């Protein structure tokens, strides 16, 4: 039985834990606010209207791809492709190819940085494996000019960040929407977690300090995971109405795919 991502892949381990997935999207939420194509979020209105609902919708797609059989995963990717094409048709213009690539590259970056922050350093082979999974995803989406491997991706990523990121009024408004929907305390946690993950270019544009108040808290949280207290912490921090979706992010625990 062939899966899009093999059962022992590090990608399944990364995307099979709720805390890692939440950190991936925290970092992506910071960086995409600066993307020069961020206006596409405002055309559909979905992310500014309800960032958390959009998060769980996106996670559902990603989880299905990573944990599905190859044929089913390809169908899901094709449906994502058509969703975006319909948005382009409705607006009467095309989403820039570099914007698609930027989003894909963000997922690669934050998949690696989030796992390394919460778990351990990845080996060069594991990083290459992460890149390969998203490269196949991007190729199926018909994206152009993708780096051939992880090593080439590193340099291309730096170039793309220099060319495609800027702080705009939409960047500022998007963070206002984050604060509005999360509340002051959860918004504070979002920003402090973003400081731990984002590259220098993103930190500079957003005016983030190098220090995060979460830095001394992380060892305590890692200990809580070993003691089984992390679920309680997540339930306290995150909105109750998303309890079911948060639980479902723990694919490893609920589907027993990994030991």
Q: Where are the domains of the chain?
A: 10-255
Q: Is the pLDDT of residue 152 over 80?
A: yes
3-state secondary structure 101-116: HHHHHHHHHHHHHHHH
Rounded to a whole number of angstroms, the CA Rg of the chain reads 18
pLDDT tens, residue by residue, 206-249: 999 999 999 999 998 888 777 766 666 666 666 666 666 666 67
How does the average pLDDT of the chain come out, rounded? 88
| Two tokens, residue 203 | 């930190």
Q: Is the pLDDT of residue 254 over 60?
A: no
User: In 198-250, which residue ranges form alpha helices assigned H by DSSP?
Assistant: 200-206, 218-227, 230-237, 243-248
Q: What is the pLDDT of residue 167?
A: 97
pLDDT tens, residue by residue, 87-139: 999 999 999 999 999 999 999 999 999 999 999 999 999 999 999 999 999 99
Q: Is the pLDDT of residue 25 over 90?
A: no
Q: What is the CA 152 to chain-centroid distance, rounded?
A: 21
Q: What is the CA 44 to chain-centroid distance, rounded?
A: 19
Q: Are 17 and 230 in contact (CB under 8 A)?
A: no
Residue 259 banded pLDDT, cuts 50, 70, 90: very low
Q: Are 249 and 22 in contact (CB under 8 A)?
A: yes
Q: Residue 3 in 3-state DSSP?
A: strand
> What DSSP state is assigned to residue 210?
S
Enumerate the β-bridge partners of residue 69.
Answer: 3
């Amino acid at each position: 039985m062939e899966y899009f991502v093999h059962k022992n892949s590090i990608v399944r381990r990364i995307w099979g834990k709720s805390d890692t997935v939440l950190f991936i999207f925290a970092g992506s939420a910071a960086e995409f606010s600066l993307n020069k194509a961020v206006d596409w979020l405002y055309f559909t209105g979905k992310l500014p209207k309800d960032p958390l609902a959009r998060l769980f919708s996106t996670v559902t797609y990603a989880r299905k791809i990573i944990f599905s059989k190859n044929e089913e995963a390809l169908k899901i990717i094709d449906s994502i492709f058509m969703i975006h094409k319909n948005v382009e048709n409705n607006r009467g213009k095309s989403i820039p190819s570099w914007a698609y690539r930027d989003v894909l590259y963000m997922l690669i970056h934050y998949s690696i940085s989030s796992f390394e922050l919460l778990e351990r350093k990845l080996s060069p082979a594991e990083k290459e494996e992460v890149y390969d999974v998203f490269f196949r995803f991007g190729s199926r989406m018909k994206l152009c000019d993708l780096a051939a491997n992880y090593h080439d991706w590193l340099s291309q990523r730096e170039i793309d960040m220099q060319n495609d990121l800027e702080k705009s009024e939409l960047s500022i408004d998007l963070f206002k929407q984050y604060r509005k929907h999360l509340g002051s305390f959860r918004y504070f946690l979002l920003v402090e977690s973003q400081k731990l993950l984002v590259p220098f270019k993103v930190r500079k544009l957003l005016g983030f300090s190098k220090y995060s108040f979460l830095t001394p808290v992380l060892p305590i949280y890692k200990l809580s995971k070993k003691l089984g207290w992390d679920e309680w912490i997540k339930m306290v921090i995150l909105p109750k109405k998303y309890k079911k979706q948060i639980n479902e992010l723990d694919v490893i625990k609920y589907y027993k795919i990994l030991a």
